[in-house]
Chain A
Amino acid sequence: MLTVLMRRVVALLLTLLAVSVLVFAVMDVLPGDPAAVMLGTSASPDTLAALRHELGLDQPLLLRYFVWLASAARGDFGTSYVYGVPVSELLAERLAVTLPLAAIAVVLSVAIALPLGALSAARRSSAFDHAVGVLSQLFIAVPGFWVALLLILLFSVRLRVMPSGGFPGWESGLGAALKSLVLPAVALALPQAGVLTRVTRSAVLEVLNEDYVRTARAKGLPQRVALWRHAVPNAMVPVVTVLGLQFTFLVAGAILVENLFNLPGLGRLAYQALMQRDVVVLQDVVLFFAGLVVIVNFLVDLSYLFLDPRLRETAS
């Protein structure tokens, strides 16, 4: 078990290193630099040179990369070229928005998908099953930005019960902060919920059709018990797998949703950093996302051990 963990950690570090090299290289190939962006259309060559020197952009690329790497190894993730503040500060500010947003969206999508999928499987071919089928199809088909706009239109413009975007900050109270995350989380959760509902339904159906369940049912085991005690727990492995796979989409979706709702989250920061060629910021954000994806996949693998006793045997 420990060697498995060690191997994972080494793989994670190597992945991050490869990603960091890639980001630096790509950003170097892209035309434009943060100094030019800051000075815009009035820049004279000598001012540009002065600013590039001040930001250290006139040093060779390899040197800049190794300076960044050496600092990162010490836990210092560098200073934003454009904002002139430590990137760790920016990241901390943005994580306080993106992590709760993603968490609410995941909880919401599971809370919608599990009961819908399980009941749909239990009442196979009923009107309810068909309705859930249409609904999940709709969740998957409807583009996220359209849902987002619809939500804003209904709850902010018409009813005026929800903010149309922006984030008041946690210091304005838990209620106000959560309120501003509800609509974006819904917009983020619906497509996830659609996929999860379908996966849950087919996984539960498969278990319900297993011989042992059929036998137990024939011997008088109630449908309810068969569903919630046997079928749903045993259907968790595919559901969790898909949840892990969906995580990357969640991150991508967050970028879109944060832009529409003007949430100061990581997704928006990444987009702005790319537009402004703020290499250091983009580097750190991408690494953070990459690390997160690798860790989530690892957690998914771990969870199998808890969900499926048979895997525990082989692992030990």
Chain B
Amino acid sequence: MISAFQMARRRLSNGLLFTFLASAALAVPAVPALAGQSDRSLVLGMAIEPIGLDPTIAAPVAIGQVTWQNVFEGLVTVDRDGNIKPQLAKSWTISSDGLTYTFRLQRNVTFHDGETFDSAVAKASLERARGADSVNPQKRFFSSIATIETPDAETLVLKLREPAGSLLYWLAWPSSVIVGTKTAESDRTTPVGTGPFRFVRWAKGDKVELAANTDYWNKDVSIGLDKVTFRFISDPQAQAAALRSGDVDAFPEFGAPELVGSFENDPNLTTVIGDTELKVVAGMNNARKPFNDKRVRQALMMALDRKTLVDGAWSGFGTPIGSHYTPNDPGFIDLTGIYPYDPEKARALLAEAGYPDGFSFVMRAPQMSYATRSAEIMQAMLAEIGVTMTIEPTEFPAKWVQEVFKNADYDMTIVAHAEPMDVDIYGRDSYYFNYRNPVLNGLIAKAEQTTDPVARDAIYGDVQTVLAEDVPALYLFVMPKLGIWNKGIEGLWRNEPIPSNVLTDVHWKE
């Protein structure tokens, strides 16, 4: 029989021991980082492990973040500022009607297994991506192509059905990379490309190892690393520990904004904040009452103080947006001022739409921290205008993709849209927003028929304005790129115009 006094004493001693242990662990002075790391190898951390290593057959961005530009290359590529650059195609001409693209290809390019790259290989790769049984996640990119011709080994001609202004840009994507004819089927586990790094090993659940490709075709590039290891660490605390202990040299997309400040005093690490392409958007079911009323959607937008939301949900990192477009994208305009935070006006507009006492709805929030936190803050802000949000956690990806994305069985949800330049989703017939707007569809079609960049930017400006005014979804913020890496590393990208970890220019300082 233990007396209450003994119980209390035991609890107290446990508590004291807890505190003592924790403070003892923290009181130990930190050992300085090991100087003289191998200057030709790099360990790079990622939160999510890719499900395969072939970006042409599955969508998760983690696949391209390991392989794009490192193992695989495309006809064209995108540089760190988002500009389209030649790659396996050294130049191209576009006919004045926009229907014929003629690419001059690089010579002396070989795949890691020795296969020679030529127009036949390029054609086979594109045919595989656009064929009837293709499972390419961006198959629609190739739908405008009627035929592919190979007049000679160095020339590739794409004949289009209709003009496709975004085609060049799409050809730069991870899902458009050129794969070898002999190795296409095994790329998902042992990727073989033409890039500056060869695949070495994938220890599933732990890491992917790459090694410099000594036969790399592009002599303008000096590869600064011999060995690269991608390590997959999902828990943010474990990510922080791996960085501090020097087990990981760089985390280009660190997972927890609330821990970023804790690296400030670390003498070995630097913090580089940039923009990703991830647009955090609260999608609404535009086919369901009351979201089918534009005034209701506008009122909800005005009820949200985006700045405060970013502060609360993501520790102040991230850029508020007014439409489905990021500062990285060509022709970006800041439209957060169209429906700025104004709860008074929001309430008036709701009353005008026939909801003087507000209404109730269900928010289906995926379990990612950005989504749950944003939902909780929105819940409080919407309560201010009399709107009641019930949050229903929805497991992502499996359940969310099935019920929200595929079946559109929801009122509102929150998810980060990762694909760059994807405003066309608002014009698709069966997309989970259930949004129909002929004006917008006209603008998107017009942009596709235009190849002149200046004219295209102007059209995309109109697209952004339509979205900002019509509010088919609530536009919240662009996910920041929280880069934390060793001060000795140079060449990693600050921004991500395409989700990636390009290692071509990465090296340790002398």
B206 interfacial by beta-carbon distance below 8 Å: yes
State how many angstroms separate the Cβ of B442 from the closest Cβ of chain A: 22
Find out whether the CB atom of A83 lies under 8 angstroms from the CB atom of B242.
Answer: no
Q: Which of A134-168 contact B (CB under 8 A)?
A: 134, 137-138, 141-142, 149-150, 152-154, 156-160, 163-167
**Contact of B59 (CB < 8 Å), options: A41, A141, A158:** A41
The residues of A that contact B58 with a CB separation of less than 8 Å are: 38-40
Q: Which of B385-406 contact A (CB under 8 A)?
A: 395, 397-403, 405-406
Find out whether the CB atom of A134 lies under 8 angstroms from the CB atom of B34.
Answer: no
Chain B residue nearest to A274 in the complex (CB): B398
Find out whether the CB atom of A275 lies under 8 angstroms from the CB atom of B135.
Answer: no
Find out whether the CB atom of A94 lies under 8 angstroms from the CB atom of B205.
Answer: yes
A164-206 vs B, CB cutoff 8 Å, 1 = contact: the mask equals 1111010000000000000000000000000000000000000
Most chain A beta carbons < 10 A, residue from B33, B237, B418: B237
**Contact of B398 (CB < 8 Å), options: A44, A164, A169, A275:** A275
Find out whether the CB atom of A39 lies under 8 angstroms from the CB atom of B238.
Answer: no
Find out whether the CB atom of B405 lies under 8 angstroms from the CB atom of A259.
Answer: no
The residues of B that contact A42 with a CB separation of less than 8 Å are: 59, 137-138, 419, 422
Find out whether the CB atom of A157 lies under 8 angstroms from the CB atom of B235.
Answer: no
The residues of A that contact B28 with a CB separation of less than 8 Å are: 154, 158-159
State how many angstroms separate the Cβ of A234 from the closest Cβ of chain B: 27
Cα separation A150 to B19 with both chains bound (whole Å): 11
Find out whether the CB atom of B60 lies under 8 angstroms from the CB atom of A40.
Answer: yes
A30 interfacial by beta-carbon distance below 8 Å: yes
Cα separation A114 to B399 with both chains bound (whole Å): 47
Most chain A beta carbons < 10 A, residue from B34, B60, B238, B399: B238
The residues of A that contact B245 with a CB separation of less than 8 Å are: 152, 156-157, 160, 163-164
Q: Which of A23-76 contact B (CB under 8 A)?
A: 30-33, 36-48, 50-51, 53-54
B244 interfacial by beta-carbon distance below 8 Å: yes
**Contact of B242 (CB < 8 Å), options: A30, A39, A137, A165:** A165
Cα separation A45 to B139 with both chains bound (whole Å): 11
The residues of A that contact B59 with a CB separation of less than 8 Å are: 38-43
The residues of B that contact A33 with a CB separation of less than 8 Å are: 398, 402
B62-83 vs A, CB cutoff 8 Å, 1 = contact: the mask equals 0000000000000000000000
Q: Which of B1-45 contact A (CB under 8 A)?
A: 10, 13-14, 17-18, 21-22, 24-26, 28-31, 33-34
State how many angstroms separate the Cβ of A227 from the closest Cβ of chain B: 26
The residues of B that contact A269 with a CB separation of less than 8 Å are: 204-205
B246 interfacial by beta-carbon distance below 8 Å: yes
Query: Is the interface on chain A under 10, 10 to 19, 20 to 34, or 35 or more residues?
Result: 35 or more
Q: Which of A248-265 contact B (CB under 8 A)?
A: 259-265
Find out whether the CB atom of A160 lies under 8 angstroms from the CB atom of B31.
Answer: yes
Find out whether the CB atom of A50 lies under 8 angstroms from the CB atom of B135.
Answer: yes
B136 interfacial by beta-carbon distance below 8 Å: yes
State how many angstroms separate the Cβ of B479 from the closest Cβ of chain A: 14
Find out whether the CB atom of A165 lies under 8 angstroms from the CB atom of B233.
Answer: yes
B133 interfacial by beta-carbon distance below 8 Å: yes
**Contact of A36 (CB < 8 Å), options: B31, B206, B241, B406:** B406
The residues of A that contact B207 with a CB separation of less than 8 Å are: 166
Chain A residue nearest to B58 in the complex (CB): A38
Find out whether the CB atom of A85 lies under 8 angstroms from the CB atom of B189.
Answer: yes
State how many angstroms separate the Cβ of B23 from the closest Cβ of chain A: 11
Cα separation A236 to B415 with both chains bound (whole Å): 55
B107 interfacial by beta-carbon distance below 8 Å: no
B195 interfacial by beta-carbon distance below 8 Å: no
Find out whether the CB atom of A149 lies under 8 angstroms from the CB atom of B10.
Answer: no
**Contact of B206 (CB < 8 Å), options: A30, A51, A159, A264:** A264
The residues of A that contact B25 with a CB separation of less than 8 Å are: 150, 153-154, 158
Cα separation A53 to B134 with both chains bound (whole Å): 11
State how many angstroms separate the Cβ of A269 from the closest Cβ of chain B: 6
Find out whether the CB atom of B18 lies under 8 angstroms from the CB atom of A142.
Answer: yes
State how many angstroms separate the Cβ of B9 from the closest Cβ of chain A: 10
Which residues does A use to contact B, with CB under 8 Å? 30-33, 36-48, 50-51, 53-54, 82-85, 90, 93-94, 134, 137-138, 141-142, 149-150, 152-154, 156-160, 163-167, 169, 259-265, 268-269, 272, 275-277
* 13 additional A-B residue pairs with CB within 8 Å, beyond A37-B401, A138-B17: A38-B51, A40-B59, A44-B139, A90-B204, A138-B14, A158-B26, A160-B30, A165-B241, A165-B242, A166-B233, A166-B242, A262-B234, A276-B51
10 A-B contacts, Cβ less than 8 Å apart?
A30-B399, A32-B398, A32-B400, A39-B135, A44-B140, A47-B139, A53-B133, A142-B18, A166-B231, A276-B398
